[in-house]
Structure 1
Amino acid sequence: MDYFNAFWVGGLICALVQILLDKTKLMPGRVMVLLVCTGAILGAVGIYQPLIDFAGAGASVPLLGFGNTLWKGLKKAIDQDGFIGLFTGGFTACAAGISAALIFSYLASWVFKPKMKE
């Protein structure tokens, strides 16, 4: 049942974002920023964590989950370090995921020999 919940929640998020992209004139970069900010706001309000508990990776993998992770790291760092945590919390919470994305994409570029679009 966990896989099913992850599938339909993640699919619903992706479908809603695709509708947003198709029906508005928002550029993809702006939609990505909107998703990260929305995830942080939903995490701050306390709505997003129950969704992650219910759907697992279906809710934590999309950009909404990244915003929520930033918020959790920020909150933890502010509680521990005070004002300076405002500047360090997001970096420490997401450092492993961002580093892995950079390293694996670099390794993939060696294997697949990327080319410029014509």
Structure 2
Amino acid sequence: MGWNTYHQIVTELSPTKWIYSDFTTYVITHNKSNSNKQIIFTDVNPIDLLEQLKQQDGKDIWICGGANLVQQIMRADLIDRYYISIIPTLLGKGIKLFGELPKEQKLSLVRTRNYNGIVELVL
């Protein structure tokens, strides 16, 4: 995840408990922070980090992040499956999730889920 996503989690969404305690989390940032066994802060290029992680033992890699991070990984064609959560709020302005793509990408709907007023698309 990127710094903004991390910061929102620890200051607004779950300030008293790390909600991804079952995972090793990599926070891609230029902010200097102390890493621990569970949360690793790094300024490594996200594409290079993904390539390194793919060479290691473990399960799938889950990207939880904002538009900037997602766009970088999309351009490198490293996303196998998209989980897109739609929250019924029209912001009016902000960063486009996918930005401009170099070419059209066809996706297939795998499933949907509706919970707590949120619709999740798995593509």
Same fold (TM over 0.5): no
> TM-score under structure 2 normalisation?
0.28
> TM-score under structure 1 normalisation?
0.29
Q: Which has the higher strand share?
A: 2
Q: Which has the higher helix share?
A: 1
Q: Which one has a bigger Cα radius of gyration?
A: 1
